Amino acid sequence: MSKMSLEDKAHFVIGTGMAGFSGDNAVIGATRNLVPGAAGTTYPLDSLGIPAIVLADGPAGLRIDATREGDSATYYCTHFPIGTLLASTWNTQLIEQVGQAIGEEVKEYGADVLLAPALNIMRNPLCGRNFEYYSEDPVVAGKTASAYITGVQKNDVGTSIKHFAANNQETNRMNNDARMSQRALREIYLKGFEIAIKESQPWTVMTSYNYVNGIYTSESKDLVQTILRDEWGYTGTVMTDWFGGKDGAKQMWAGNDMLQPGKAEQFDSIVAGVKSGKLAEADLDRNVARILNLIEKSPRFQGYQFSNKPDLEAHAQVTRQSAAEGMVLMKNEKALPFDDKIKNVALYGITSYDFIAGGTGSGNVNHAYVVSLLDGLKNGGYVVSDELKTAYETYISNAKKAAEAALEEQAKKDPKNAMLVKFLPQPLPAEKLFSADELTKQAEASDVAIITLGRISGEFLDRKAADFNLSDSERKLIEQVCDVYHKAGKQVVVLLNIGGVIETASWKNLPDAILCAWQAGQEGGNSVVDVLSGKQSPSGKFTMTWPIKFTDAYSTKNFPIDQDPRIDMMNQGQKGDVKNVDYTNYEEDIYVGYRYFDSFEVPVSYPFGYGLSYTTFEYSDAKISEKGDAYEITVNVKNTGKVEGKEVVELYISAPDNKAANKPVKELKAFAKTKLLSPDESETLTLTVKAADLASFDEAASAWVVAEGEYQFLVGASSQDIKATLKAKAKAQQTKVNSVMPLQAPLNLLKR
Ligand code: BGC
C-alpha cells in the first residue's frame, strides 16, 4: 500500500466500469476480457503485481457469456433452480451441494467471486425479485444462505451475500427509502444476514440500492461498520450493488470498501475528499487493505490454472435432483404419482412447451438447454399428444414473433434503453383456448391432462396485480379442461412454473392435483417428471405464505402496486416524495408473512411451511430438555404410508403473554428434515434452540431481551399444522447492542 499513490488507491476502490454504461477505456477493455460477460472486476495495478479479479452473478448459477468472439468453444453454465425453490427443500445439505457445484463453475471458468446468494426477506408477495430470495422468515433465509455460501466457498472462491439490507421492492430501487422500526430491522431484515454471515463468513457483502431510515445502506457507517463488523465480527470486504449509493467519499468513510462497477465521478469524489480532508486517508487505506486481502485469497492471485471445463454433466444431475426436492405438492386427490395406466398425456399451457428455467436480469444464467415439460415427459416414457404439441408450437412461435417485433419497436423508440429492454421480464401471451369438441377429442385420446401456468420473473420491476391473479384465458383453460376431462372420467394436474406466489383460492378446487414446480433450472422438465412419475416423492414445503388475495398481506398497504418502476440504471435520479415509490413505510412492523397471518388470524390459501408428500408421517414422542444455554427438542417421525419419502419438521416458539407483549403468536426458530424414510421406517430428529434466540428486540433498551416465563415449543408440519406442543421455562436475559439506524419520524406501526 505504501507504493500506491492517492490516485492508485482511488482507482483501486472502484471497479473498472460497465460496458455500455460507464464509458470505455483500456483498463476496462482488458479486464472485461478476463471472463466475458462477468458483471465486473476489481481494478488492476499491474506495476504492483496486483491483478484484477473477476466478480460474476449469481445466484442460480454463474452468469457469463456462453460464446466468445473468434472462439469456437462454448462457456455454458448450469442453470440451477431459483433461490425460492432451493429454500423450499429445507435441506441444507442439499443446498450446500448445489453451492459446491456452482462454485466449481465459478472456479473453472476463471471467476473469483460469485455475486450471490440473495436473501432479502419476501416482505410482500409482489416484490419482483422474490424468485431470487428465500423466504419471508429470517431463519429459513439465513440458514439457506449459509449452506449455499459454505458450498460455493469450499472451492476457495468467494461469495457476495446481497443485498444488505432491506431491498424489498424493485420500484425506484435506486432511490427508495425503506422506513422501519429498529425492531423490524433487527428481527426481520437483518436477522437472516446475521445468521448467514456468522455461520459461513462470506468473502464479501454487497450493500443494497435503497436507503434505510433516510440513509443509503452503502453510506451507512451504522450498518456497514457498527452492526456488520463491530457487532457481528465480520472481517471480509464490502462492495456496493452496481451503481448503488451517491457519495463516493461517504461510502469510503462508512466502510463500504469497494464501489462497483465504478464511475468517474466516484474517483473524483474520493480524490477530492482526501485532498479537502472530508475523507481521512486512513479510512481509504483501511478499505484498500480489505480489498487487498480479498484479492490475495482469490484463485487468480493464487495463480490457479482454470480449465474452462467444469463438470457440466455431473452438475446437470445435481440440478435435476435438487429441483425435484424443492417442488411443493399443494393438492393431491389420488392423482399423483401417475400409476402404470397413465401413458398418454395431454399437455396444456404455453409454458409446458416453453418451460421457464429461472428469472431474467442479473439472476439469469446462460445455459446450454432447458428441458421442457414436453421433453421431460418423453424422457420419462410418456406419450404426449402430437396434435396438441403442433398446435402449441405454432401458437407460441407466432406469439414470440409478435413480442419480438413489439420489443424492437420499443427499442427503436427508446434507443438509450434498448439493452435494458432485453433484460426486463416480459409478460407471457394469453393462453391458447380450445373448443369443447376439440377438448372432448383430446380427452378421449389421453389418460390425463396437465396444465402448466407460468410466470416470468425478473429484476427491475415489481410484479403487477395482474401477475398475481389468473388471467381470463388461464381461468377459462382450467375450467374448460377440468370440466371436459372430469366428464370423461379423467384427471387434471395443474403445474405451477412460477417465481412467486399467485392466486389459488378461487380455482384450487377444480383440478385433482396441484404441484408447484417453481422455476426449476435447466433440467426442469426432467425434475417435474421425476415427481409426477413417483420416482421422487415430493418433500418441498413453502417458505412463504400464499395469501387468498395479495391485499391480505398487511404490507400491501405500503407497497408499490402497478407503479412506474422508475428504472435508473446508473443512479442518476434523486429521491422525491411519492409514497411507496420514494419512501415506503413498513407499518406492518415485524408482522411479515405468517407472523402477520397467524397472529391476526387472517385466513390464507396455503400457510407457511405447507407441503404434501406421496406418503404420510406420524410424529411421536416429542420431548424437550435443557442442554447448557440451549433447548434440545427431539421428535420421532415415522413414515406411515406406502411409499418412501422425506419430511420437514418445523419448530416454532410462542413467547409467554405474546399478545400483551406485542410479539408474534409463533416464530420459527429451527427446522430439520428426515432422511429418505421407507414405509414404516422412523427417525428421531433433534432440533436445537439457543436460549438467547428466544429474544425479541427491545428498542427502549436497545437490547435483545428474553422475557422470563414459560415458552411453548411447537413442533409442526406447517405453521398451521402443529403436531406437538412442549413447554419450557426461560430465565430473563438481555444482550445490549448499539442503538443505530433509528426511524427519522414515527410510523403508525401495527400492534397486536
Ligand atoms: C443487481 C445485483 C447484481 C449486480 C451485478 C444489480 O443490478 O441488483 O444483484 O449482482 O447488478 O450484475
Q: Pick the closest to residue 138 from 702, 720, 668 (CA basis).
A: 668
Gap from CA of 215 to ligand 1 centroid (Å) = 20
23 confidence band (pLDDT: 50, 70, 90): low
Distance CA 538, CA 472 (A): 30
Distance CA 527, CA 538 (A): 11
Task: State the virtual CA torsion across 58, 62, 63, 66 in degrees, nearest 10.
Answer: -170
Task: Report the predicted TM-score, pTM, of the whole model to 2 decimal places.
Answer: 0.98
Pocket test for ligand 1, best of 132, 210, 241 (most atoms within 8 A of CB): 241
Segment 239-254 shows an average pLDDT of 97
Q: Pick the closest to residue 123 from 440, 559, 416 (CA basis).
A: 559
45 confidence band (pLDDT: 50, 70, 90): very high
Length of the chain: 752
Beta bridge partners of 718: 721
The pLDDT value given to residue 418: 72
CB-based burial, 578-607: b 16+ in 10 Å, e otherwise: eebbbbbbbbbbbbbbbbbbbbeeeebbbb
Q: Does residue 80 line the site of ligand 1, with CB under 6 A?
A: no
- Whose CA is closest to atom 5 on ligand 1? 39
Gap from CA of 286 to ligand 1 centroid (Å) = 25
Task: Choose, from 112, 137, 177, 241, the residue flagged as catalytic.
Answer: 241
- Whose CA is closest to atom 11 on ligand 1? 242
Q: Does residue 133 line the site of ligand 1, with CB under 6 A?
A: no
Q: Does residue 518 line the site of ligand 1, with CB under 6 A?
A: no
Q: Does residue 56 line the site of ligand 1, with CB under 6 A?
A: no
Please identify, by atom number, the ligand 1 atom nearest to the C-alpha of residue 167. Answer: 8
The pLDDT value given to residue 679: 98
Q: Specify the 3-state DSSP secondary structure of 567.
A: coil
Gap from CA of 440 to ligand 1 centroid (Å) = 48
Please identify, by atom number, the ligand 1 atom nearest to the C-alpha of residue 162. Answer: 9
- Does residue 29 carry a pLDDT above 70? no
- Does residue 25 carry a pLDDT above 80? no
Q: Does residue 519 line the site of ligand 1, with CB under 6 A?
A: no
Gap from CA of 558 to ligand 1 centroid (Å) = 25
Q: Which three cell numbers stand for residue 449?
A: 391432462
The pLDDT value given to residue 31: 83
Residue with more model confidence, 207 or 263: 207
Handedness of CA 206, 211, 216, 222 (dihedral sign): negative
Please identify, by atom number, the ligand 1 atom nearest to the C-alpha of residue 132. Answer: 9
- Whose CA is closest to atom 7 on ligand 1? 242
229 confidence band (pLDDT: 50, 70, 90): very high
Q: Pick the closest to residue 608 from 695, 696, 671, 659 (CA basis).
A: 671
- Whose CA is closest to atom 9 on ligand 1? 362
Mean of all residue pLDDT scores within the chain: 96
Q: What does the angle CA 643 – CA 499 – CA 135 come to, to the nearest 5 degrees?
A: 75
Handedness of CA 626, 628, 630, 635 (dihedral sign): negative
Gap from CA of 116 to ligand 1 centroid (Å) = 9
Please identify, by atom number, the ligand 1 atom nearest to the C-alpha of residue 173. Answer: 8
Pocket test for ligand 1, best of 22, 57, 131, 209 (most atoms within 8 A of CB): 57
- Does residue 68 carry a pLDDT above 70? yes
Q: Does residue 57 line the site of ligand 1, with CB under 6 A?
A: yes
- Does residue 141 carry a pLDDT above 60? yes
In the chain, the percentage of residues whose pLDDT exceeds 70 is 99
Instruction: Tell me the pLDDT tens digit for each residue of 308-317.
Output: 999 999 999 9
Gap from CA of 691 to ligand 1 centroid (Å) = 37
Q: Does residue 242 line the site of ligand 1, with CB under 6 A?
A: yes
Please identify, by atom number, the ligand 1 atom nearest to the C-alpha of residue 261. Answer: 5
24 confidence band (pLDDT: 50, 70, 90): low
The pLDDT value given to residue 493: 98
CB distance 536 to 530 below 8 Å: yes
Q: Pick the closest to residue 15 from 33, 27, 3 (CA basis).
A: 27
Q: Pick the closest to residue 91 from 34, 14, 143, 162 (CA basis).
A: 143
Q: What are phi and psi of 513, to 5 degrees?
A: -150, 150
Query: 553: Cβ–Cβ under 8 A, 6 or more apart, which residues?
Result: 124, 125, 545, 547, 588, 593, 596, 597
The pLDDT value given to residue 410: 82
Q: Does residue 38 line the site of ligand 1, with CB under 6 A?
A: no
Pocket test for ligand 1, best of 65, 113, 115, 419 (most atoms within 8 A of CB): 115
CB distance 140 to 671 below 8 Å: yes
- Does residue 412 carry a pLDDT above 90? no
How many Cβ atoms sit within 10 Å of the Cβ of residue 369?
A: 12
In the chain, the percentage of residues whose pLDDT exceeds 90 is 93
Please identify, by atom number, the ligand 1 atom nearest to the C-alpha of residue 361. Answer: 7
Q: Does residue 53 line the site of ligand 1, with CB under 6 A?
A: no
Q: Pick the closest to residue 129 from 461, 365, 455, 426 (CA basis).
A: 461
Q: Does residue 162 line the site of ligand 1, with CB under 6 A?
A: yes
Segment 127-156 shows an average pLDDT of 98
Instruction: Tell me the pLDDT tens digit for each residue of 445-496.
Output: 999 999 999 999 999 999 999 999 999 999 999 999 999 999 999 999 999 9
Instruction: Tell me the pLDDT tens digit for each residue of 697-708.
Output: 999 999 999 999
425 confidence band (pLDDT: 50, 70, 90): confident
Q: What are phi and psi of 346, to 5 degrees?
A: -95, 125
Distance CA 85, CA 543 (A): 9
The pLDDT value given to residue 18: 80
Gap from CA of 125 to ligand 1 centroid (Å) = 21
Q: Does residue 241 line the site of ligand 1, with CB under 6 A?
A: yes
Distance CA 331, CA 493 (A): 9
- Does residue 274 carry a pLDDT above 90? yes
- Whose CA is closest to atom 6 on ligand 1? 242
Q: Name the DSSP class of 226.
A: I
Q: What does the angle CA 416 – CA 422 – CA 423 come to, to the nearest 5 degrees?
A: 100
Distance CA 558, CA 577 (A): 14
The pLDDT value given to residue 408: 84
Concerning whether 46 is annotated as a catalytic residue, the answer is no
- Does residue 22 carry a pLDDT above 70? no
The pLDDT value given to residue 423: 73
The pLDDT value given to residue 327: 98
End-to-end CA distance of the chain: 55
What is the C-alpha R_g of the chain? 26
- Helix 138-153 vs helix 191-200: angle between axes, to the nearest 10 degrees? 30
Q: Does residue 646 line the site of ligand 1, with CB under 6 A?
A: no
Distance CA 382, CA 373 (A): 11
Tell me which residue has cell 417458505. 543
Instruction: Tell me the pLDDT tens digit for each residue of 605-622.
Output: 999 999 999 999 999 999
Gap from CA of 333 to ligand 1 centroid (Å) = 42
Q: Does residue 39 line the site of ligand 1, with CB under 6 A?
A: yes
Lowest model confidence (mean pLDDT) among 189-198, 278-287, 393-402: 393-402
- Whose CA is closest to atom 8 on ligand 1? 241
Gap from CA of 108 to ligand 1 centroid (Å) = 22
Segment 136-143 shows an average pLDDT of 98
- Does residue 165 carry a pLDDT above 60? yes
